[in-house]
């Protein structure tokens, strides 16, 4: 048992650290289970991307949450009971996770162009062929466009892949028979007002913007519609919050390193205290005489 002030500090710091990790692990597990069981939201997002990537991510969250709970349990018990075996196991699992963390970051950076290409291709595919005919895809796109105040796939007001994508490439546009809209209501800033909606969606028989595609000049600019593509809007949101995102990543890495340092130091302190206790007592349980030169 650790007796020194430094040893007690390490012990209770380790316990506090792992208690926080336990709460975080429960949060990850809970969110993963919720996203897995919340089929409506899950299906919509998966449908927009045209893949099971969201389902896979929810499974990863469940597994990650379970692992965090396991290692935090090992850390808490190892610290309070002063069991070196548990602390060593805690350290080994945590260092493996830390290495995996770094590897995932490196792979993400190396394959960032392929990830971007895959995402853009998936978005274009679902919007081209499934919007308006598949309820999950339609509701997914509508929710995303309203949430991020965007329209279409990517680019700005003068891109053929943003709001103009609906007219030029989607089956949704070609299936319309009367009162033809150039963009859906979800691309409008305020579709509840009839004049604003008419100006936004560009009803064909009204001959108003956005009848003409890009380029958009100041003369025909439409202030009732979202003109930025959703992929671009999401990228801009991430870019604007890059400092927060970087801080979170650095924070997670720092917590992992701190946990490993605490585990190693506490193991060493327990070992030293055990050695001192063995050295202090004689084989018969009586204190050994003090050393004299």
Residue 21 sits in the same domain as residue 92:
yes
Residue 137 sits in the same domain as residue 225:
yes
> In terms of pLDDT, which residue wins out, 293 or 215?
215
Residue 143 sits in the same domain as residue 95:
no
**Long-range CB contacts (within 8 A, 24+) of 237-245:** 237/148
Residue 55 sits in the same domain as residue 34:
yes
Q: Which two tokens stand for residue 163?
A: 């709001």
Question: What is the pLDDT at residue 81?
Answer: 82
> In terms of pLDDT, which residue wins out, 66 or 202?
66
CB 196 within 8 A of CB 159: no
Residue 44 sits in the same domain as residue 109:
yes
Question: What is the pLDDT at residue 238?
Answer: 76
> In terms of pLDDT, which residue wins out, 84 or 291?
84
> In terms of pLDDT, which residue wins out, 284 or 261?
261
Supply the range of the domain harboring residue 145. Answer: 125-235
287 lies in some domain? no
Whether the predicted pLDDT of 20 surpasses 60: yes
| Residue 182, CA distances (Å) to 151, 205, 209, 251 in order | 11, 11, 9, 46
In this prediction the pTM is 0.70
- Maximum mean pLDDT: which of 25-39, 123-137, 237-251: 123-137
Residue 110 sits in the same domain as residue 250:
yes
Question: What is the pLDDT at residue 217?
Answer: 64
CB 93 within 8 A of CB 67: yes
Taking only the tens place, the pLDDT of each residue in 66-120 is 888 888 888 888 888 878 888 888 889 889 988 988 898 898 889 888 988 888 9
Distance from CA of residue 43 to its chain's centroid?
Answer: 17
Taking only the tens place, the pLDDT of each residue in 204-255 is 655 454 656 666 666 667 788 898 999 998 888 777 777 777 777 788 888 8
Residue 171 sits in the same domain as residue 267:
no
């Amino acid at each position: 048992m650790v007796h020194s002030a430094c040893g007690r500090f390490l012990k209770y710091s380790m316990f506090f650290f792992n208690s926080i990790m336990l709460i975080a692990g429960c949060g990850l597990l809970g969110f993963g289970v919720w996203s897995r069981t919340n089929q409506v939201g899950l299906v919509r997002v998966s449908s927009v991307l045209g893949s099971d990537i969201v389902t896979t991510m929810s499974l990863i969250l469940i597994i990650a949450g379970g692992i965090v709970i396991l290692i935090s349990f090992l850390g808490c018990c190892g610290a309070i009971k002063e069991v070196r075996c548990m602390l060593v196991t805690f350290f080994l699992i945590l260092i493996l996770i830390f290495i995996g963390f770094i590897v995932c970051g490196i792979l993400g950076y190396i394959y960032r162009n392929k990830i971007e290409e895959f995402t853009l291709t998936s978005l274009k595919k679902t919007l081209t062929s499934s919007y308006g005919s598949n309820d999950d895809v339609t509701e997914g796109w509508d929710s995303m466009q309203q949430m991020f105040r965007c329209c279409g796939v990517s680019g700005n007001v003068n891109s053929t892949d943003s709001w103009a994508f609906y007219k030029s490439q989607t089956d949704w546009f070609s299936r319309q028979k009367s009162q033809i809209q150039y963009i859906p209501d979800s691309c409008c800033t305020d579709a509840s007002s009839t004049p604003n909606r008419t100006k936004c969606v560009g009803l064909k028989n009204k001959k108003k913007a956005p009848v003409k595609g890009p380029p958009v000049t100041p003369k025909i600019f439409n202030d009732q519609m979202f003109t930025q593509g959703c992929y671009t809007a999401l990228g801009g949101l991430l870019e604007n919050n890059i400092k927060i995102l970087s801080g979170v990543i650095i924070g997670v890495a720092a917590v992992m390193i701190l946990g490993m340092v605490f585990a190693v130091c506490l193991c060493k302190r327990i070992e030293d205290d055990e050695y001192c206790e063995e050295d202090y007592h004689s084989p018969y349980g009586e204190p050994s005489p003090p050393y004299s030169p």
